[in-house]
Chain A
Amino acid sequence: MSDTADSRIARRLRRILLLLPYAIKHPGVSLDELARKFEVRKKDLVEDFNLVFFCGLPGYGPGDLIEVAMDDERVYVRMADYFGAPLRLTPAEALALYAGGATLAGTPGMEEADALRRALTKLGKALGATDDDGGDIGIQVKVERDAAGHLEDLTRAVKEAKRVRLEYMSASRGQMTERDVDPWGLITALGHWYLVGWDRSVEDERMFRLDRMKEVVLTDDGVEVPDDFDPERYKGAFLGDAAQDRVTFEISPRAARWFAEYYPIEGSEEMPDGWTKVTLISGGARWAATLLLRLGADARNVSPREVEEEARSLAQEIARRHR
């Protein structure tokens, strides 16, 4: 309870410490403009300014209090020059902005890359993280490789809303497939680039890894992107779909040391002998079987049964090639 009250107060304090410099720099700014700029309701803004009206410096007399005048929905703030500039970025804010910016600046085919680089250099200098030649920024982001050059074509397809035809190596089926996809967006996560979109052959939403695309062809067919398309849903490069199958198995203490860093575990449970029982969203029986073979003797007690059977038949096939 007190936790949420605390975070509410923190949010409000952050907002007020941002509103004040803006209002001081722009005397007579309208409530409408403030509401748009800070994405706050006008009612909340009025409450904020009414509250600030009772604050100020020790003494708290007429010359010490912050002056707020609201006239015909226009705001004037005086006697608060100490709130004339915003608070510096916190390390977490700077890091997030920097890392996001550096990623996009390094993405092939990004029109805004030049503006982003200029912005990051200025930001770095202001934060004291960049030397005068814009050299060291304390952070580097290695953008995932796109050796085949699919990223530029797909960026164009997403921006122009054009359907694409993919020749695609399917991990869930273990073979090459042809797919007609309505492209919605491009995601970089866990070391790979993915295309997110509507797979017309299965009439469902899918993610496609760019390095598994043998061929990308833009068609002339236009597509409609859902209004509520939100890249945030694809965090971890996983469609957290409740309807999807799950696979459960136990991993050895040795594998448990790194497993969670690479696979999104839904649930885990320690076994009496130190092994860990994990549950994952399955990318299909073939996908799960491949994962099990990679784990080898570090995995046991697989369920469902058909995943284990798939792993056995795949293992036979691979072993035959190696004898």
Chain B
Amino acid sequence: MRRIERLINLVAALLETSRPMTADEIRRSIGGYDEAPNFEAFRRTFERDKESLRNIGIPLEVTTTDVWDDTPDGYIIPKARYYLPDIDFEPDEVAALRIAAEALLGGGEQAEAGLMKLSLDTSSAPWSGPRAVFGADLSVEGTALGALYSAVIERTPVSFQYRPARSDETRERVVDGYGLLHRFGHWYLVGRDRSDDVVKSFKVARIESSPRRIDGSYEVPADFDASQHLLGKSFEIGNEVENATIRFDAAMRWWPEQNMPEAKTREAPAGALDVEVPVGNVDALVSWVLGFGARVELVAPTAAREHLVKHLAPYLDGASS
């Protein structure tokens, strides 16, 4: 018997069984396993099959079959965890989801596979949509993300190795995940760090191990809003925040006028515009200002101005030219 047939038989039997089946029962009764010459060979085959089913998201559970013995030795696929509940989508809703799935750059296959499951009942929706107008690169294909997402919606704590931005010290964190948030091209897990009981954000790209689920459960505070735990622009972050003045010349002033509408501004000589920004991290501010080339000047504070010139030193011939 071919492997795919055996897998279908296994899913069918474990979905339909009223009580968990032991490995021995599986070997004796499910079509395809009787071909194994001995128990060891069966074990290897069965392990591989379990792995395959779990990889495509089939909820194969292991429980005990004997009230006197807690060794988990029974296998079952609970119907409630397998079947997708009926969702009554309108045709325009499926069509809109289709556009979203198509827009995804990376991870589009996952979205399409999910959409296929959701749209079995809406045969009327046109299957090929209009030409794609949008593309969204959300980096959803990272392996940690799916695991973090299921932990968040199931309210299960996770542990992982985390490498903070400002040091090399990678260490284990145990986190009650409250939500996942995508901003400025990066994913963040926002949640309570169990070691210090503080709600903070963890950049998913700096999680250096597969997230491991920890026993336990938690509640998400009713007033939780992930976006309130995100940090601002990188140069705003720091312990001591002071105001800096950035001068955009006449040819560049449209940039802050257009992109920083809520910033405090002041007219400056020669048609330039001074913009005030809160600064907690001078290095990040210097980097941001240099991104504009020579059309932008860091006016104040003086210390930051000097810092900028010092930062350029490797490219200035002789330090004092």
Give residues in A with beta carbon < 8 Å to B.
6, 9-10, 12-14, 16-18, 21-22, 25-26, 33, 36-38, 51-52, 54-60, 66, 80, 82-83, 85-97, 99-101, 103-105, 107, 112, 115-116, 118-119, 122-123, 126-129, 136, 138-142, 144-145, 147-148, 155, 158-159, 169, 174, 176, 185-192, 196, 211-212, 214, 225, 229-232, 234-237, 253, 257-258, 261, 286, 290, 292-294, 296-297, 299-300, 308, 311-312, 314-319, 321-323
Instruction: Using known A-B contacts A57-B13, A294-B287, determine if residue A88 contacts B140 with beta carbons closer than 8 Å.
Output: no
- In the complex, 22 of the A-B residue pairs with CB atoms within 8 angstroms, ordered by the A residue number, are A36-B127, A57-B12, A82-B16, A86-B120, A87-B57, A90-B146, A91-B57, A95-B145, A99-B104, A99-B138, A100-B136, A103-B136, A104-B103, A115-B95, A136-B179, A147-B258, A191-B185, A211-B255, A312-B316, A315-B312, A316-B315, A318-B308
What is the CB-to-nearest-CB distance from A151 to chain B, in angstroms, rounded to a whole number? 10
For window 32-63 of B, CB contacts with A under 8 Å fall at 52, 55-59
Which residue of A87, A188, A189 is within 8 Å of B84 (Cβ)? Answer: A87
Given A13-B7, A16-B4, A136-B220, 9 new contacts (CB under 8 A): A57-B13, A95-B145, A95-B180, A103-B103, A115-B96, A116-B97, A140-B181, A142-B183, A189-B185
Check B134–A187 contact: CB distance below 8 A: yes
Give bound CA distance, A57 to B5, whole Å. 12
Asked whether, in the complex, the Cβ of B114 is within 8 Å of the Cβ of A169, the reply is no
- CB-based contact B165/A235 at 8 Å: no
Closest to A148 in B: B258
Residue of A nearest to B150 (CB): A91
Interface centre among A119, A158, A311, A316 (most CB of B within 10 A): A119
Residue B82 CB within 8 A of the other chain? yes
Which residues of B sit under 8 angstroms from A126, Cβ to Cβ? 84-85, 87
**Complex Cα spacing A101 to B118, Å:** 14
**With contact pairs A140-B182, A141-B138 given, residues A187 and B168 touching in the complex (Cβ less than 8 Å):** no
- B237 located at the interface, meaning its Cβ lies under 8 Å from any Cβ of chain A in the complex: no
CB distance from A125 to the nearest CB of B (A): 8
A86 touches B135 (CB 8 A): no
Report the minimal beta-carbon distance from B279 to chain A, rounded to whole angstroms.
16
Report whether over half of chain A's contact residues are helix, strand or loop; otherwise say mixed.
helix
Say whether, besides A100-B101, A257-B165, A38 and B133 are in contact (CB < 8 Å).
Answer: no
Number of interface residues of B (CB under 8 A): 123
Q: Given B29, B52, B84, B153, which contacts A13 in the complex, CB threshold below 8 Å?
A: B52
Our pick among B56, B121, B137, B227 for the contact of A235 (Cβ within 8 Å) is B137
Shortest Cβ distance from B108 into A: residue: A232
Known: A57-B16, A315-B316. A231 touches B103 (CB 8 A): yes
CA distance A107 to B132 in the complex (A): 15
